[in-house]
Structure 1
Amino acid sequence: MPKVKSEKRTCSHNDHVKQGICFNTNVGQHILKNPLIINGMVEKSALRTTDTVLEVGPGTGNMTVKMLEKVKKVVACELDPRMAAELQKRVQGTHLQRKLHLIVGDVLKLEALPFFDVCVANLPYQISSPIVFKLLLHRPFFRCAVLMFQREFAHRLVAKPGDKLYCRLSINTQLLARVDLLMKVGRNNFRPPPKVESNVVRIEPRNPPPPINFTEWDGLVRIAFIRKNKTLSAVFGTNSVLDMLEKNYRIHCSVHNQDVPTDFSIKSLVMRLLETDEFHSKRARTMDIDDFLALLNLFNSNGIHFA
């Protein structure tokens, strides 16, 4: 008789088996197994019995169950239906079942995050940057987020002007939130172990947020950090940047019924403005939030926009 092929899923090179489950490391499935780290993250989040908690990437639910015992509700977003089924099975028939709201799908594709007071998560590291800004731009404000990140990413979040890792991510995050490193987490605390070390970070949104247009702000910072070691005059003197700024300038003038002189030169205007407070010789890697706020106000008040 011919052999019947098994339909059982075969784990690929990047999958690891534990208790019958294939963990797919390609989508960041590294399950936090150390109960001391799990308890530490839950304690650092200072959960209240009235809280709704958002958890991204709950996996098999090691941390979810701990939080369900402490709060009113946990909204868990899980990409992998197999993991979601394991989590549901874990709480089924217990008093915790009614407290769990499970969303199966890509959290980044949600039009808006559900309401939550606190976010606690061992995140898939591939989505670290987009999830940080999805959280920080979420309304209404949440109290804090306690998140696991790859160590270098965590250090970028807290980097200061002049630090090697200081970048656009650093200044954008610190504009919108207070960020603190909480604890180091070695790779062997996960199953399967990732290739990198990790850190737990606490993010507390600034409420109220700074009174600026974040799209304008991010447009300026994005340009400045294209070459963070070069002077602003060099960065803003490139043809691609000047072309974009001139297009925005002409749109701004058109909207406000202002004429653009026939001999108008966007480069002359930009370089003249950069002479103010010697911005022309400054470099993004050493500029702090106040420097960028002053530069943005200078540009915007002279009709130069980044959005």
Structure 2
Amino acid sequence: MTKPKLHTPRKRFGQNFLQDEAIIGRIADAIHPQEDQHLVEIGPGQGALTEALITSQCRMDVVELDRDLTAGLLAAFSIYPKFKLHSADALKFDFASLSSGDIPLRIVGNLPYNISTPLIFRLLEFAPLIQDMHFMLQYEVVQRLAASPGSKLWGRLGIMAQYLCEVEHLFDVPPSAFFPPPKVQSAIVRLVPRQESPWPHCDPAQLKRVVQAAFAQRRKTLRNNLKGILDSDGIESLGLDPGCRSETLELIDFIHISNAIDG
């Protein structure tokens, strides 16, 4: 296979290329692609993970923003008939355009640290079309996704991710696995969208609004953050303390608040 030419990582794209073969193999094993599946890789870079996944003969779309990398990716992978390259910004890309019939998308990627959170929020909008997502992220972002109530890391990202998906922190990845080595630890996370919501009567848009307001100012009380959405009496009627901080509430508490507003 033709290897992509060496490329100088670009800071503005947050590029840190994965190069540790053992880590690449471990990620590929966790994803375990099959021939009849449809993978979408975000930010393939120089194709290290792409190469490990595409040998399964799966359908594979890759979304790459850096045009300097596209020629090398095409040279390396266009021999595969089910490979397709999209030169685009993943934050603006319409992932629904890749959906075909009954085959759900499996999203993978080594996400740049500077766009990982907004990109995950965007991908969650396409959750009904997705079988699962495997991401390399900054360690703290994975902690936030998998956080529990009472933690300082518990907030909008974890709540909305766990409302829509099962979240699993798979394993950690050291800086030495990349070129250039980032200054932070990384980790692999698996997100599996819920096929049927345990909370079918909850409006996701309303929940998002409640959670955004509740964490607008973390040091303020629930009463202050929800002012204009639900008053103290309404909060107390749900068995909650208006004087508590939002980080102490569980996912189901936010769902109850959201449903109370709907009512």
Please indicate, yes or no, whether the TM-score normalized by the shorter chain is above 0.5: yes
| Distance in 2 of aligned mates of 1:149 and 1:165 | 15
Corresponding residue SS for 2:242 = helix
Contact kept? 2:39, 2:61, Cα under 8 Å: yes
1:223 is aligned to 2:213: yes
Residue correspondence of structure 1 range 1-307 to structure 2 within 5 A: 20-92=6-78, 94=79, 96=80, 98-113=81-96, 114-115=98-99, 116-138=104-126, 140-209=128-197, 210-211=199-200, 212-237=202-227, 242=228, 245=229, 270-276=231-237, 277-301=239-263
Gaps of 5+ in 2: none
**Structure 1 residue 20, shift from structure 2 partner:** 4.7
Corresponding residue SS for 2:129 = coil
Corresponding residue SS for 1:108 = coil
Corresponding residue SS for 1:184 = strand
Runs of 4+ in 1 over 3 A off after TM superposition: none
One-letter amino acid of the counterpart of residue 178, structure 2: F
**Structure 1 residue 139, shift from structure 2 partner:** 5.5
One-letter amino acid of the counterpart of residue 198, structure 1: S
Cα deviation 1:4-58 (Å, max 9, x = unaligned): xxxxxxxxxxxxxx96522102211111001111111111012111111000000
Which stretch of structure 1 is more off in the superposition, 290-299 or 32-41?
A: 290-299
Which stretch of structure 1 is more off in the superposition, 196-205 or 278-287?
A: 278-287
Contact kept? 2:128, 2:195, Cα under 8 Å: no
Bigger share in helix: 1
Cα deviation 1:57-96 (Å, max 9, x = unaligned): 001111111211113211000001111111111235x4x2
Gaps of 5+ in 1: 1-17, 246-268, 302-307
- TM-score (norm: length of structure 2): 0.89
CA spacing shift, 1:45–1:54, aligned 2, 3 Å: same
Which structure has the higher relative contact order (CA within 8 Å, separation 6+)? 2
CA spacing shift, 1:270–1:295, aligned 2, 3 Å: same
- TM-score (norm: length of structure 1): 0.77
| Distance in 2 of aligned mates of 1:138 and 1:291 | 25
| Distance in 1 of aligned mates of 2:233 and 2:140 | 38
CA spacing shift, 1:151–1:67, aligned 2, 3 Å: same
**Matched residue pairs, number?**
252
